[in-house]
A = this chain, B = another copy of it.
Amino acid sequence: MDMTAKPAGADCRAVSEILSRVGDKWTIQVVVALRSGSQRFNGIKRRVGGISQQMLTRTLKTLERDGMVERTVRHTTPPQVDYMLTPLGHSLSETARHLADWAAAHQGVIAGNRLQYDARQL
């Protein structure tokens, strides 16, 4: 197949779906927190900072469902659960880096645009 052709619009829906999966408030931050290796629940919670336990649970569960992270339970006392990125999760984190670069490069301009726009609305 020739992938150099323009995505017609079928791809567009796929991108959109992936984006709304990944574009929530926490997913990327959790993935980034896991880049350096296996982490435990409260370890991730500390790393991300500001995330509630509820949202971390949901986010990890969805990432596990999508095959981005792998969950390993150790039945010790106290119980211990490790989360680590799968190869798929790593490849996502690589792609996220490009977006990170773009965001870092343009966030200042965007913030300025918003100020200008809001000022004009008065």
A7-B104, A98-B98 are known contacts. Are A65 and B114 too (CB-CB below 8 A)?
Answer: yes
Indicate which residue in B16, B18, B99 contacts A95 across the interface (CB closer than 8 Å). Answer: B99
Q: Which 4 A-B pairs have the closest CB atoms?
A: A23-B23, A67-B113, A18-B103, A15-B100
Q: Do A98 and B95 touch (CB < 8 A)?
A: yes
Alpha-carbon distance A74/B101, docked complex (angstroms): 37
Chain copies in complex: 2
A60, CB-defined interface residue at 8 Å? no
Q: Give the chain B neighbours of A26 by CB distance below 8 A.
A: 16
A23-B23, A25-B20, A64-B117 are known contacts. Are A102 and B110 too (CB-CB below 8 A)?
Answer: no
A65-B113, A91-B102, A102-B91 are known contacts. Are A96 and B23 too (CB-CB below 8 A)?
Answer: no
A28, CB-defined interface residue at 8 Å? yes
Give chain A interface residues in 1-36, CB to chain B under 8 Å.
3, 7, 9, 11-20, 22-26, 28-29, 32
Alpha-carbon distance A110/B7, docked complex (angstroms): 19
